[in-house]
Amino acid sequence: MIPKKGDTVRLAQSVTMAEFGLALCDDDGEGLEIDGVVVEAAPHMVNVRIRRLMHHSRITGPTEGSVSRWVRRHEVLEVIEGEARLWPNAAGLKAVSDEREGKAKRQTEPVCWTVGVDEIPGE
C-alpha cells in the first residue's frame, strides 16, 4: 500500500504511544490506533497530520489543533474512508476509537449502597 497526499490513514499502536506517551488498549486488549492525514509520502517514511486537542486556557478551554509527525511506512496500516478524527487527551482516546469502530458504549453496572445497615431486611 502506498498512501498518497490527502489520504486518511490508520496508524499503528506505536504511533499512539509516541504521540500520547501511553500504550492504551480497548476492552478486548487490542492496542488503540489513531488516524491522521498524509501530508507527504517519502520512500520509507510518511508525514501525517494528527488532529488533537491542544493546551487549553481557562478562558477559551481546549483548542483544536494538529501535530505533524513522521512515521515509518509500516506504521501506516491502511487507508480509511472519511475524515480523520479529532483525538483528545489520553483519557478520551478510547471513546473516540470506539465511535470510529462503531462499538456500543459499555454501560456501567449500577451499584446500590447502604449506609449504617449490616443487612437489607427481606420483604
Domain ranges of the chain: 8-101
Contacts of 31 (CB under 8 A, 6+ apart): 12, 13, 16, 23, 24, 25
Alpha-helical regions (H) of the chain: 13-20, 93-101
User: Quick check: helix, strand or coil at residue 22?
Assistant: coil
- Confidence at residue 99, expressed as pLDDT on a 0 to 100 scale: 79
- Confidence at residue 33, expressed as pLDDT on a 0 to 100 scale: 87
- Confidence at residue 20, expressed as pLDDT on a 0 to 100 scale: 83
Q: Can you tell me the distance from the alpha carbon of 110 to that of 83, in angstroms, rounded to the nearest whole number? A: 36
Q: Can you tell me the distance from the alpha carbon of 16 to that of 71, in angstroms, rounded to the nearest whole number? A: 11
Low-confidence ranges of the chain (pLDDT < 50): none
